Structure 1
Amino acid sequence: MKEFKILAPTAILGYGFPVESFKKGMDKSPDLIAVDAGSVDPGPYYLGAGKSFTDRTAVKRDLRFMLKAAKKQNIPVSIGSAGGAGGKEHLDWNVEIIEEILAEEKLDLKVVVINSQLDKSYLVDKLEKNDIVPLFPAKEINAEIIKESTNIVGQMGVEPFIKAIDMGADVIVAGRAYDPAVFAAHPIKLGYDSGLAMHMGKILECASIAASPGSGRDAMLGTLGEDYFILEPMNDQRSCTTDSVAAHSLYEKTNPFLLPGPGGTLNLKETTYQQLDDRRVKVKGSRFEPADEYTIKLEGAASVGKRTISIAGTRDPIMIKQIDDIIKEVELQVKDNFQDGNYEYTLNFHVYGKNGVMGALEPNLTPTSHELGLVIDVVAQTKEVADTICSFTRSTMLHYGYENRKATAGNLAFPYSPSDIYAGDVYQFTIQHLLKNIDPENLFDTRRLQDYKKGVE
């Protein structure tokens, strides 16, 4: 069986890549250029608000290189989780960029668009049929949660991509997708082993992060054979090692050997890693085990209010020793001051230098920081309330008279003026569930670009 080569230019579309490593990858004559364009890692805001967490200019720069190279060498391009979160607004945003490039560069490429945003009435009906189940640790949802969620997407597997290939796509641009599916669909369509294709896709979706030293903005080449795949970074300053590749195979997994996804599980219990030379690693033995019941993951987000923050710092060792007690007292004073206002808000302090990253999970209970960074974080139903609570909290802490205090002026140093920063809408994930009893190919609206633009079948 002829080897199938996939070039992953970057970990996320818009993160960029060195031109030389991309050109070196193209010199290897890949059969496919594929890229993951999104993630839930940046949080629920982007899905809920319909905004991209990547910059438009940066995305267009990456795509211009990819589309021009693909046309020149007559190979396809596959993009998943378009626009970051993969909803309809994100997909339209990414499609618009592709259209601009095709027009500017006079490229004649057949584009197929796959929409992953699911209709709410359809999902309410599936809920009533008990076809939506929680994905631990998510809780049961009701129809109201579905209706209040601004955007709900399904994480597609390889089937819609294969349908797009059958439609003659030169470029596939898909909404929210299972990361490995973006890379695995083309070789699976050609008869390559599903387990190896999925495992290679799992690594390629992060490009050269699986190299040493790792980087999310550098190209990686994957070469898939009949019973193996080989990984090679395209930057001579990086190397794949058995440690770096095996370690990345554990990435974003609750189980070191099993990775569940649409339609089944990637099983790595018998996977082996072989160092071929100082820069390449060969992987064998990965298996894909089909599930008894095909399910996909649903992701949804809804608005929960408005946020205002204030960023400050303190270097007073007396204050630092008492910071927990000071925060508690400030919180009480804020509550007391507005008890007649019936304000609904949440007030959080993020204390960097103490437990700002891990919060209550921080195991080091005796920090020795000589200074602390404080983020006052207020979320309320309206901007006015968020502004009011944040302003009062900031001024109360600024002038709070703690025990043994030497100063008579402010306790805090502010890096910005104005000190209070309105951060806008706040979203939370409302749906992290599994959808079952589906047709994995036809659940997602798959159309040629011209039909997608017309909004017709």
Structure 2
Amino acid sequence: MLGYGYEFASLQAGMDQQPHLVGGDAGSTDPGPYYLGSGTSLVKREQVRRDLSYALRASRAAGVPMVIGSAGMGGGNPNLAFVREILLEEAREHGLHFKLATIPSEIDKTVVLDALRMGRIQPMPDVGPLSEKAVRESVRIVGQMGTDPLAHALAQGADVVLAGRACDTAIYAALPISRGYDAGLALHMAKIMECGAQCALPLAPNDSLLGVIRKDHFLIRPLAKNRTVSPESVAAHTMYEQGDPLVLYEPEGNVDLSASEFEQVDARTVRVSGSRFIPAPRPTIKLEGARSIGFRAFTVAGIRDRTVIANLPVIEEAVRAAVRRNLGTHVSDASFGLQFRAYGRDGVLGTLEPERDRIPHEVGMLIEVVAQTQELASYVLSLARSSFLHCPFPGRKTTAGNLAFPFSPSDVQAGEVFDFSVYHLMETDDPLGLFPIHTEQV
């Protein structure tokens, strides 16, 4: 992840191999919909500057292109502009000259609505059907581009490609596919490379990795001297974040891994062969949209009393009732949501927690409110916190508070909240046309 840091010595070791491309993934949906909805970056400006500056200077000195995908975390236009601004600042500071291709990934809502009405949009697994209302409520919608836009930008002579939301595989597979290398091998190699040296031993998600593709196989090699890879570690990363261990799903089609072979070439290199590309009848683009659902306020407190912990369901129900009474009839139930999470009991898995009935010696209680306004969220949280602090329960022996707060003030105003309004696949006859390429001389 661009901005997470990497070893300068590792990147230089890669540059010493005279590569044809330097690539970096700069975004993800892992941190949730906030960064797409707000147009901000999880990774801070100085983190991005540090990683981008050195890679930019190294690639320009070597005369090879650099490709950055999913710029600014969410890949929306504000996210893309954030990274472009840093890129231009670094170019000015270091006197660099190059051809820049910027590829925005925001998709106009009318395009999405037209596709929806034509029956060309399907939900991702565990997601409901898309509605026109959800599309219209979205702050922005991005499409996850495949290899075509990146390959075309490189074919136009771009020295640096800065892309909006992109498949992480596309960053590394676009160039070899456009040069005529096997698409199955290129996409499989890119899948291994997209997390840096996370396939290496010892594991290193924030370090550099070298991929070398040939006619009938590819090679994977970590660049830090203290790391190696094994057939097991590379095969394991092939399955990373995959629902099916034998198939990689990409916009252009699928990669069949059933005949893939992983072999140790030397102490630090693994060779992979046998991966086969199966083109899709029609390319699909994953759409990601975010909409605002209100504003958040929360507090965190500790509980170290088994009687309180045993009565948490009773206390939570009593607190909900007290909040409802205090709010009166002028605040509707639909205008806010109140949630409790007991970390140490079931804060991670909720009702799926198999040890939910076991009473731990200590829990961390998160009380969260999401409401239509920040003022309402803070108001409801204040009522809930005070009610929880002094709530009676069966077997109570003291009048002390139920909660131990780690900081003062206890309540945090967390700002606007977003959810994924669109998380669907859209069929398209023109995967290139959705992502216009803008070039400029820097």
TM-score, normalising length from structure 2?
0.96
Aligned to 2:418: 427
Query: Is residue 2:6 matched to residue 1:17?
Result: yes
Aligned to 1:313: 302
1:376 to 367, 391, 400: 367
Q: Distance in 1 between matches of 2:132 and 2:389?
A: 45
The one-letter amino acid paired with 1:208 is A
Aligned-CA RMSD value: 1.5
Relative to 1, partners in 2 of residues 1:239 and 1:328: Cα closer, same or farther, differing over 3 Å?
Answer: farther
The one-letter amino acid paired with 1:308 is A
Range with bigger deviation, 124-133 or 430-439: 124-133
Query: Is residue 2:165 matched to residue 1:176?
Result: yes
Aligned to 2:86: 97
Aligned length: 440
Structure 1 residues 58-77: aligned runs within 5 Å: 58-77=47-66
Range with bigger deviation, 268-277 or 338-347: 338-347
The one-letter amino acid paired with 1:359 is G
CA contact 1:262–1:296 (8 Å) conserved in 2? yes
The one-letter amino acid paired with 1:105 is H
Q: Distance in 1 between matches of 2:273 and 2:328?
A: 64
Query: Is residue 2:336 matched to residue 1:345?
Result: yes
1:123-171 superposed Cα distances (whole Å, 9 cap, x missing partner): 2222222222222322222333212101100011100011101210011
SS in 1 for 2:197: helix
After TM superposition, give the deviation of residue 261 of structure 1 in Å.
Answer: 1.6
Q: Which runs of 5+ in 1 are unaligned?
A: 1-11
Aligned to 1:6: none
2:349 to 351, 358, 362: 358
Query: Is residue 2:108 matched to residue 1:119?
Result: yes
Q: Percent identity?
A: 44
Query: Is residue 2:230 matched to residue 1:229?
Result: no
Structure 1 residues 122-271: aligned runs within 5 Å: 122-271=111-260
Range with bigger deviation, 227-236 or 62-71: 227-236
1:11-64 superposed Cα distances (whole Å, 9 cap, x missing partner): x11111111222222222211101111000000111111111111111111111
CA contact 2:285–2:428 (8 Å) conserved in 1? no
The one-letter amino acid paired with 1:409 is A
CA contact 1:353–1:367 (8 Å) conserved in 2? no
Q: Distance in 2 between matches of 1:367 and 1:211?
A: 39
Q: Distance in 1 between matches of 2:401 and 2:196?
A: 48
Q: Distance in 1 between matches of 2:204 and 2:382?
A: 40
2:70 to 56, 81, 100: 81
Range with bigger deviation, 410-419 or 432-441: 432-441
Q: Distance in 2 between matches of 1:365 and 1:374?
A: 15
1:409 to 396, 400, 403: 400
1:250-300 superposed Cα distances (whole Å, 9 cap, x missing partner): 111111111212020121111111122332211111112101111111100
1:291 to 280, 305, 312: 280
CA contact 2:314–2:393 (8 Å) conserved in 1? no
CA contact 2:296–2:369 (8 Å) conserved in 1? yes
Q: Distance in 2 between matches of 1:359 and 1:285?
A: 42
Q: Distance in 1 between matches of 2:15 and 2:394?
A: 66
The one-letter amino acid paired with 1:244 is S
SS in 1 for 2:229: coil
Q: Distance in 2 between matches of 1:307 and 1:98?
A: 33
Q: Which runs of 5+ in 2 are unaligned?
A: none
Q: Distance in 1 between matches of 2:209 and 2:41?
A: 24
Q: Distance in 2 between matches of 1:132 and 1:365?
A: 39
SS in 2 for 1:37: strand
Query: Is residue 2:392 matched to residue 1:391?
Result: no
SS in 2 for 1:415: coil
TM-score, normalising length from structure 1?
0.93
After TM superposition, give the deviation of residue 339 of structure 1 in Å.
Answer: 4.2
CA contact 2:309–2:359 (8 Å) conserved in 1? no
SS in 1 for 2:318: helix
Q: Distance in 2 between matches of 1:257 and 1:177?
A: 22
Q: Distance in 1 between matches of 2:127 and 2:309?
A: 37
Range with bigger deviation, 17-26 or 291-300: 17-26
Range with bigger deviation, 417-426 or 19-28: 19-28
After TM superposition, give the deviation of residue 225 of structure 1 in Å.
Answer: 1.4
Q: Distance in 2 between matches of 1:367 and 1:65?
A: 51
Range with bigger deviation, 424-433 or 24-33: 24-33
